[in-house]
Chain A
Amino acid sequence: GEKVEQHESTLSVREGDSAVINCTYTDTASSYFPWYKQEAGKSLHFVIDIRSNVDRKQSQRLIVLLDKKAKRFSLHITATQPEDSAIYFCAPYNTNTGKLTFGDGTVLTVKP
């Protein structure tokens, strides 16, 4: 089955700096790559995604990069704010099976 690894278990940055979270996966059938955010005590909320036919996508302060050859994708948060503090999960999605497999999560702390 799919193995998903998030390389940073914790990440601490100063407000205004950039944060980068990396994710690798093993299943070549994964073709869609969303990121989710979990705030304390809450559920998972979708933040941004990237499809396998592109290698970069930006939505305001969020950028996702995809390297299909390396089976790696990353989330870049620019100009971080304290409200960006949360746990971020990558979750490669196999559109054939409908399965979403999560990484272990990265705890991002943005210090004022």
Chain B
Amino acid sequence: DTTVKQNPRYKLARVGKPVNLICSQTMNHDTMYWYQKKPNQAPKLLLFYYDKILNREADTFEKFQSSRPNNSFCSLYIGSAGLEYSAMYLCASSRVGYNQAPLFGEGTRLSVL
């Protein structure tokens, strides 16, 4: 299977409540990414795992957490959702050093009300 799977496809959350998004791949990719995509904006890198090492972007450091319990699975966790978190969340995976474009999942559309 050469796809990146994301669950759920759509998520409705209340302000102040936690949100957990899930991503998986079975291509043995060493790197998994999370991007936030809002309309008319570039995809914004939130964080990525290279193997077991988590790299978080400085400007989103405190807003998002993640875990990667094994090579295939990666989650994105929002502790307390705000209206500004409404966006498409895209997971991608790749094998670093192989000059192959990261492969994206279909995304999770999060709406915070």
Which residues of chain B (82-96) have a CB below 8 Å from chain A? 88, 90, 92, 94, 96
* B42 engages A42 (CB within 8 Å): no
A71 within 8 A of B: no
- Is residue A43 within 8 Å, beta carbon to beta carbon, of the partner chain? yes
Structural contact, B104 and A102, CB atoms closer than 8 A: no
Which of these binds chain B: A55-63, A73-81, A93-101? A93-101
**In the docked arrangement, what's the CA distance between A103 and B63, Å?**
23
Rounded to whole Å, the gap between the CB of B57 and the closest CB of chain A is 9
Specify which of B41, B43, B94 is in contact with A98 (CB 8 Å cutoff): B94
Cβ of B101 and Cβ of A49 under 8 Å apart? yes
Within 8 A of B (CB), among A82-105: 89, 91, 93, 95, 98-105
What residues of chain A have their CB less than 8 Å away from a CB belonging to chain B? 4, 31-32, 34, 36, 42-46, 49, 51, 89, 91, 93, 95, 98-105
Residues of B within 8 A of A31 (CB): 99
Q: Assess whether B45 is in contact with A100, with CB atoms less than 8 Å apart.
A: yes
Residues of A within 8 A of B107 (CB): 42-43
How big is the B interface, by class?
20 to 34
Expressed in whole angstroms, the Cα–Cα distance for A105 and B37 within the complex equals: 12
Taking the closest CB of chain A, its distance from the CB of B89, in whole angstroms, is 10
- Alpha-carbon distance between A99 and B102 when the two chains are bound, in angstroms: 10
**How distant is the Cα of A73 from the Cα of B101 in the complex, in angstroms?**
16
With a cutoff of 8 Å between Cβ atoms, the chain A residues found around residue B37 in the complex are 44
Which listed residue (B42, B90, B101, B104) contacts A93, Cβ 8 A?
B101
